[in-house]
Copies of this chain bind each other. A is one copy, B any other.
Amino acid sequence: MELDVILTHQSLPKNFEGAVCAVVDVLRATTTIITALANGASEVQPCIDAEEARQKARGTSDKPFLLGGEIKGLRVPGFDLGNSPVEYLDSSLISGKVIYFSTTNGTSAIRRAYIGSHNPVYIAALVNLSAVSSALLKATTDNSASTILLLCAGRRGGPSLEDLFCNGLILQKLIQELNQAGIPHKLHDGAAIAMEFSSLKKGQPLDVLKATEPGQGLQELGFADDLELASQIDKYQTVPIFDGTKITAA
């Protein structure tokens, strides 16, 4: 099994057909999507920007929906919810709703990672680490895939430390399971960087999140609770999958 970590969604290889792919944006898009689905949202539709989210919502006739997302970290004006995962914990508000969801990096990364119906995109974060790792391995068997690509959403074309950390921990899980099954693996350089980094910081997820640039920014904006939630490894068993239009729980 070949394992690679792509450090920014802009550097996705041109052709990765046949690979099983997961997108990670710990702060905060994928954490928020997992939280929304774990609390009963019927689906999340990742949108490129706020305008696309509004357009899709206008085209919705029968299903109850909410508009969610951020611009520069704050709720889009006129939207029901921001990109704070703690806002999606209230299942009385979230349950049964379609969420039209737009963020700066995460939703674009998810859309970009989708290349066709043979390549469903898994949504991963620290909060569903073990569940998504098992699902990825199962998908390689189901799809006869020989590569797992873990994608960091990144920021402004640069790397995102917290996503690298999360992907390193996912790799550790994958390798453990591959070893148990007697399946050999090959780490590409991006994966080697993620492994080294996560080994060094294992057991300190909250410290890692607090030390990153967005982690510092979120604390300044009053979102310290988001870091607490996002750092909770295996809080959920939910494995969201994007089919090109909507993200639903597997």
Asked if A213 CB lies within 8 Å of chain B CBs, one says yes
A193 near B: Cβ within 8 Å?
A: yes
Q: What number of A residues sit within 8 Å (CB to CB) of B?
A: 28
In the complex, what distance in Å separates the CA atom of A164 from the CA atom of B8? 15
Bound together, the chains give a CA A213 to CA B190 distance in angstroms of: 10
Select A7's contact among B13, B159, B192, B211, beta carbons within 8 Å: B159
Determine the chain B residues whose CB is within 8 A of the CB of A4 once the complex forms: 158
Residue of B nearest to A157 (CB): B11
A196 proximal to B (CB < 8 A): yes
B192 touches A211 (CB 8 A): yes
Are A157 and B193 in contact (CB-based, < 8 A)? Answer: no
Are A13 and B156 closer than 8 Å at their CB atoms? yes
- Given A188-B213, A213-B188: A158 in contact with B193 (beta carbons within 8 A): no
Interface hits, A140-164 → B, CB 8 Å: 154-161, 164
Answer whether residue A181 sits at the interface, using C-beta atoms and an 8 A cutoff: no
In the assembled complex, the Cα of A156 lies from the Cα of B190 at a distance in Å of: 12
A158–B11 touching, CB < 8 Å? yes
Contact B159 A193 (CB under 8 A): yes
Q: Does A6 contact B (CB under 8 A)?
A: yes
Nearest residue in B to A10 (C-beta to C-beta)? B11
Identify A193's interface contact among B13, B155, B161, B192, CB under 8 A.
B161
Bound-complex Cα distance A158 to B189 (A): 8
Contact with B along A177-216 (1 / 0, CB 8 A): 0000000000011101100110011000000000111000
Do B158 and A7 have beta carbons less than 8 Å apart? yes
Knowing that A158-B189, A158-B190 touch, tell me 7 more A-B residue pairs with CB under 8 angstroms.
A7-B7, A8-B11, A160-B189, A189-B212, A189-B213, A193-B197, A196-B200
21 A-B contact pairs sorted by A residue (CB < 8 Å) = A7-B8, A7-B159, A8-B8, A8-B11, A10-B157, A11-B154, A11-B157, A13-B156, A13-B157, A155-B189, A158-B188, A158-B189, A161-B193, A189-B212, A192-B211, A193-B193, A196-B197, A196-B200, A196-B201, A197-B197, A200-B200
